[in-house]
Amino acid sequence: MHFSDGELWLAILVIGSLTYLTRSLPFWGKSDSWMIAWLNKQEDTMANLGPVMIAALAGVTLTSSGMTAIHQGSILAFTAASGAILLLLILRVNIGVTVIFSILVYWLTICLI
């Protein structure tokens, strides 16, 4: 996908604005509003907001990266690296180690094919 400079900056502006809105919206109401009171009762819901947003971003990233891998003929390497990431995250390995290991798996898979 190719973007002009104007389109790229517009996309960055929209993404930044939406990110700000999703994070600041709960605090816009009055401190005694029913929404703030309800959100304060929902500690588990708010605690899950970060992981849910990360999962949504991962879904978007994997979808576009998967389509690119299919078009480039590197779906096996993409699948192997994605599997390595999933396995290491399930095992609760450090995120830095997970990234380095998945890059290594991707590279080895490309070299062996």
State the virtual CA torsion across 11, 61, 18, 7 in degrees, nearest 10. Answer: 0
Is the pLDDT at 67 greater than 70? The verdict is yes
Domain residue ranges in the chain = 74-113
Helix %, strand %, coil % of the chain (to 5): 85, 0, 15
Is the pLDDT at 1 greater than 70? The verdict is no
pTM of the model: 0.47
| pLDDT at 88 (0 to 100) | 86
Which is nearest to 113 in space by CA: 79, 68, 87, 64?
79
Which tokens in the block code for residue 85?
């990431």
**pLDDT digits 0-9 by tens, 3-12:** 677 778 888 8
Look-up of token digits 């819901």: 45
102 burial type by CB count under 10 A (0-12 exposed, 13-18 middle, 19+ buried):
buried
